[in-house]
Amino acid sequence: MNVKNILFGVFLILLAALIFYFGWSFPAYKIRGETLPGPKFFPFTLAVILIIFGIYFIIKSAVMIKMKKLPKDSAIAFEEKFTLEGIKNIVAVIASIVFFVPIIEFLGFILGTIIVSSILMIVLNVKVLRSIIYSTILTVMIFLVFGTLFRIPLPEGIIMNIVRG
């Protein structure tokens, strides 16, 4: 597990290096001769955070290897780590990600998001009424922030276009 954490830390640092490499091509944001945070700001901030976490994983794992301490879960058998319930949850999340875009293109963002997130929560053992309530609140919040506040057009869906005529 510690070697995997070291490799993960190296991966994070390499990913940050790629972000820096491609981010340098973003234009600078200058107003009246002043350089302000522009399109580079978010990717570079993300890259710095990835580097910090990568260094953390590498140092922590190297210290654990040097002290010869194994993580608690390293002694657990493979069969105990991967249960049928866990595999079902992974498949449900992947399926919801794959089918989310076609569903919102057909039903629209609001109805499609409520349905997909409700089904996903039910599969992940949330009670039906709670999953519908949480999904509705989540969808309304996303719609208010992105659709209303930021004015980003969200998919209306084929069904809404047919209803409107």
pLDDT of residue 58: 92
C-alpha 157/C-alpha 27 separation (Å) is 35
pLDDT of residue 42: 85
pLDDT of residue 70: 61
pLDDT band at 1 (very low <50, low <70, confident <90, very high): low
pLDDT digits (tens, 9 = 90+) for 129-154: 999 999 999 999 999 998 998 888 99
Cβ–Cβ < 8 Å for 116, 93: no
C-alpha 113/C-alpha 97 separation (Å) is 11
Which has the closest alpha carbon to 160: 113, 118, 114, 106? 106
pLDDT of residue 71: 58
Cα dihedral sign, 64-65-69-74: positive
Name the percent of the chain lying above pLDDT 70.
90
Record the pTM.
Answer: 0.58
C-alpha 1/C-alpha 57 separation (Å) is 11
Long-range contacts of 139-144 (CB under 8 A, 24+ apart): 139/109, 139/110, 139/113, 139/114, 142/113, 143/109, 143/110
Contacts of 1 (CB under 8 A, 6+ apart): 70, 71, 73, 74
* In the predicted structure, residue 124 carries a pLDDT above the cut 90: yes
Q: Which of 2-11, 44-53, 72-81 has the lowest mean pLDDT?
A: 72-81
C-alpha 105/C-alpha 133 separation (Å) is 23
pLDDT of residue 17: 95
Which segments of the chain are extended strands (E)? 29-31, 34-36
pLDDT of residue 75: 53
* Mean pLDDT score across all residues of the chain: 87
pLDDT digits (tens, 9 = 90+) for 65-101: 888 766 555 555 555 667 888 889 999 999 999 999 9
